[in-house]
Chain A
Amino acid sequence: MANLKDLKNRISSVKSTRKITKAMQMVAAAKLRRAQDAAEAARPYADRMADVVNGLAASVAGSETAPKLLAGSGSDQTHLLVVMTAERGLCGGFNSSIVKAARVRAAKLLDEGKTVKILTVGKKGREQLRRDLSAHLVGHVDLSEIKRVGYENAADISKQVFGMFDAGEFDVATIFYNRFESVISQIPTPQQIIPAEVPEAETPKSETLYEYEPSEEAILEDLLPRSVTTQIFTALLENAASEQGARMSAMDNATRNAGDMIDRLTIQYNRSRQAAITKELIEIISGAEAL
Chain B
Amino acid sequence: MADMMQFDLVSPERKLASVQARAVQIPAASGDLTAMPDHAPLITTLRPGVLVVDGADGETRFAVTGGFAEITPGATSVLAERAYPMGPEGRDALQALLDETRAKAASAQGNDRDALNKTADDLAQTISTMA
Contact = CB atoms under 8 A, between A and B. Distances in A.
Interface string A110-123: 00000000000000
B41 to A, nearest CB: 5
A282 to B, nearest CB: 74
A230 B30 contact: no
A154 B11 CA distance: 14
Contacts of B41: 208-211
B43 A214 contact: no
Given A48-B79, A213-B30, A214-B45, A226 B67 contact: yes
A45 B83 CA distance: 12
Contacts of A209: 41
Contacts of B43: 52, 56, 210-213, 219
Interface string B57-97: 00000000011101010000101010000000000000000
A49 B79 contact: yes
Interface residues of A, number: 28
A213 B12 contact: no
A240 to B, nearest CB: 13
A133 interface: no
B42 A52 contact: no
A89 interface: no
A242 to B, nearest CB: 19
Contacts, number: 71
Contacts of A46: 12
**Interface class of chain A by DSSP:** helix
Interface residues of B, number: 24
A290 interface: no
B109 to A, nearest CB: 15
Contacts of A229: 12
A93 to B, nearest CB: 29
Interface stretch (A1-9, A36-44, A269-277): A36-44
Contact of B13 (A42, A56, A211, A223): A42
A76 interface: no
Contacts of A169: none
A208 B72 contact: yes
30 contacts: A38-B13, A41-B13, A41-B15, A42-B12, A44-B15, A45-B11, A45-B12, A48-B10, A48-B70, A48-B77, A52-B43, A150-B13, A151-B11, A151-B81, A210-B42, A211-B40, A212-B42, A212-B44, A213-B29, A213-B30, A213-B43, A214-B30, A214-B44, A214-B45, A219-B44, A222-B68, A226-B66, A229-B12, A230-B12, A233-B12
Given A42-B12, A48-B10, 17 more contacts: A41-B13, A41-B14, A41-B15, A42-B14, A44-B8, A44-B15, A45-B79, A48-B79, A151-B12, A208-B41, A209-B41, A210-B43, A212-B44, A214-B44, A226-B67, A229-B12, A233-B12
Interface of B: 8, 10-15, 28-30, 40-45, 66-68, 70, 72, 77, 79, 81
